[in-house]
Amino acid sequence: MQCQSHFKLWQMHWLLPRTLHKTERSSLLLRRLHSKKGLPTLLLFTKDPCPLCDEAKKVLEPYKHRYIFQQVDITLPENQMWWDKYKYDIPVFHLNNKFLMMHRVNTALLEKRLDEVYEEKH
């Protein structure tokens, strides 16, 4: 009986390094997702090309650790509703699915709303 359990331990020890390298990327992805859990979502409604959107993303760079960033391409067929609403106004930003700002990034407003979201959760 003891010999069998030693064999199983040896087997697990032998297999573990081979399994780890396969799951290393998945593990890293899970850690990244877990570390972002609880952060608000900042949506950028955009299209290509959009020079104002590119400029806005640069302005947002110092704040990127405070939210999960997602882009919505309003030119895609599934985003027709957003195209109809924002085709003349991009970039448009929503924070946690609520309108935040359009045309240019207002950093004071962004900081204020991010602080409010943080306070609500804590």
Contact between residue 44 and residue 101 where contact means Cβ atoms under 8 Å apart: no
User: Residue 96, exposed/middle/buried by CB under 10 A (0-12, 13-18, 19+)?
Assistant: middle
pLDDT digits over 27-65, tens only?
444 444 444 568 999 999 999 999 999 999 999 999 999
Domains and CATH numbers, the chain: 1-37 (no CATH), 38-121 (3.40.30.10)
Helix then strand then coil, % of the chain, to nearest 5: 60, 15, 20
- Three-state DSSP at 89 gives coil
pLDDT digits over 78-116, tens only?
999 999 999 999 999 999 999 999 999 999 999 999 999
Model-wide pTM > 0.75: no
